[in-house]
Amino acid sequence: MSSPEIVIDLEKIASNAHVVKALFGSRGINIFAVTKAVGGDPSLANILVNNGLNFLADSRIANIKRVLDAGVRAKFLLLRTLASEVDSVVKYAEISLNSDIAIIRLLSKAAEKENLIHKIILMIEMGDLREGVMPIDLNEVVRKIIRLPNIKLVGIGTNLACFGGIKPNARKMRALSSLAVDLEKRFNISLPIISGGNSANYHWFSKSEILGRINNFRLGESIFLGRETLERIAIPDLHTDAFSLSAEVIETSLKPSLPFGESGLDAFGNKPVFEDIGQIQRAILAIGKLDVQTDQLIPPENMVILGASSDHLIMNTQDKVLKVGDRVSFGLNYGALLSAMCSQTISKKYINANEYRPILQNGGGKRLESQETFSIHQD
Ligand SMILES: *Cc1c(COP(=O)(O)O)cnc(C)c1O
């Protein structure tokens, strides 16, 4: 094996799925398991479904199609809706997140063509300034949505700690709860899903005695990397090392820490800065920015990643003397996980597949018909 390889421990993911479901489920919070960070990997999707998280979420229709075409018996929430994709959205996604009335209108038309009712969760802007309807515009938007013949508003949600770094704290969650109560009263509707956020909501969840109307989270990083995302602290009982990435050593040598010669720009047009710490034990690995987001790799203890070009990763291995042909394994942060799982040049190896049941063939290509009107009970 010469290429960089990502090793995926399916048993650890299965265990994480069980723990997450029990932890949040014990207090009435359902989970959409978000597969976008693993590029909609069907084997991982299947593990989630077989271990209690059968409602998945992804940002990309192509990922959803790939999972359903593989025969995985999942239902899907689409996290991001494009006007150019509404026909596929209503076909492949059970529910979609939306924040723009123009797109919701197109969804209604697309659903009408298919003779179905498409469910949406309306996203509300609560300060992070990524997606969401401004609270001041909410009533007007909901009034318009309710009039659309082929759309059913099944909930509201918010997404924090993504763009603006705003924390999902008690105040934000209370505000979302009361918006839900207000809307239900004002429009005489029921909103079964109040989706409070993502892996950044763990602190609020674990510290709050009262969860109000919040009964859903959309979780990716927590399930795959075992931690919350405000401070990137491990969540108790979750595996944080279900993924690791290895690459081969192609040169080792004692070299200076300071480049010598007339100094210009590096391969990416930046002016690099170096500290002179004398001679260091260096290793070059056959992996680079072309393969993965290298600054999101976690090196083994006592080794330091000095930098990377497109195909070479430069390391200070300190006391450890490696030799050519050795492989070095790295942990992954979120950016490394998503870039590695979507990489054309990194091979995937699944281990500990005991919990892994073969994918059922259901003909593929079409989403499961939902039972009754709406349920995300995950038993
Ligand atoms: C990516 C995404 C999530 C999942 O975020 P994690 O930090 O991986 O839990 C949840 N909601 C939306 C809208 C997203 O785009």
36 lines ligand 1 (CB under 6 A): yes
Q: Which residues contact 94 (CB under 8 A, 6 or more apart)?
A: 55, 75, 76, 77, 119, 367, 370
CA 250 to ligand 1 centroid distance, Å: 37
pLDDT tier at 226, thresholds 50, 70, 90: very high
Please report the pLDDT score of residue 1 as a whole number: 80
Please report the pLDDT score of residue 369 as a whole number: 40
CA 374 to ligand 1 centroid distance, Å: 22
Cβ-defined contacts of 372-377 (< 8 Å, 24+): 374/119, 374/152, 374/154, 374/192, 376/30, 376/32, 376/55, 376/75, 376/193, 376/216, 377/30
Cα gap 165→110, rounded to integer Å: 35
219 lines ligand 1 (CB under 6 A): yes
Residue pair 8/44 in contact (Cβ under 8 Å)? The answer is yes
Best residue among 34, 80, 95, 332 to mutate for probing ligand 1's pocket (most ligand atoms within 8 Å of CB) is 34
Q: Which residue has the higher pLDDT, 102 or 1?
A: 102
Cα gap 323→327, rounded to integer Å: 9
pTM of the predicted model over 0.85? yes
Mean pLDDT of 226-247: 97
Q: Catalytic residue numbers? A: 36
Q: Is the pLDDT of residue 374 over 70?
A: no
Share of the chain above pLDDT 70, in %: 93
Instruction: Tell how far CA 151 is from the center of its chain.
Output: 26
Q: What is the mean pLDDT of the chain?
A: 93
195 lines ligand 1 (CB under 6 A): no
77 lines ligand 1 (CB under 6 A): no
Please report the pLDDT score of residue 349 as a whole number: 97
Residue pair 230/167 in contact (Cβ under 8 Å)? The answer is yes
> How far apart, in Å, are the Cα atoms of 152 and each of 114, 214, 377?
15, 19, 19
Please report the pLDDT score of residue 373 as a whole number: 34
Give the number of the atom of ligand 1 that is nearest the alpha carbon of residue 34: 4
Please report the pLDDT score of residue 372 as a whole number: 33
> How far apart, in Å, are the Cα atoms of 43 and each of 345, 349, 360?
19, 11, 11
> How far apart, in Å, are the Cα atoms of 5 and each of 58, 165, 172, 286, 287?
24, 32, 41, 11, 10
Share of the chain above pLDDT 90, in %: 92
Give the number of the atom of ligand 1 that is nearest the alpha carbon of residue 36: 1
Mean pLDDT of 183-211: 98
Mean pLDDT of 197-222: 97
CA 332 to ligand 1 centroid distance, Å: 17
Q: One-letter amino acid identity for 279?
A: Q
Mean pLDDT of 24-40: 98
Q: Is the pLDDT of residue 364 over 60?
A: no
pLDDT tens per residue across span 70-124: 999 999 999 999 999 999 999 999 999 999 999 999 999 999 999 999 999 999 9
pLDDT tier at 44, thresholds 50, 70, 90: very high
Mean pLDDT of 193-216: 97
Please report the pLDDT score of residue 360 as a whole number: 44
Please report the pLDDT score of residue 43 as a whole number: 97
Mean pLDDT of 291-318: 97
Mean pLDDT of 294-303: 97
Provide the 8-state DSSP code for 133.
B
Give the number of the atom of ligand 1 that is nearest the alpha carbon of residue 222: 9
Give the number of the atom of ligand 1 that is nearest the alpha carbon of residue 200: 7
Best residue among 60, 99, 159, 221 to mutate for probing ligand 1's pocket (most ligand atoms within 8 Å of CB) is 159
Residue pair 321/249 in contact (Cβ under 8 Å)? The answer is no
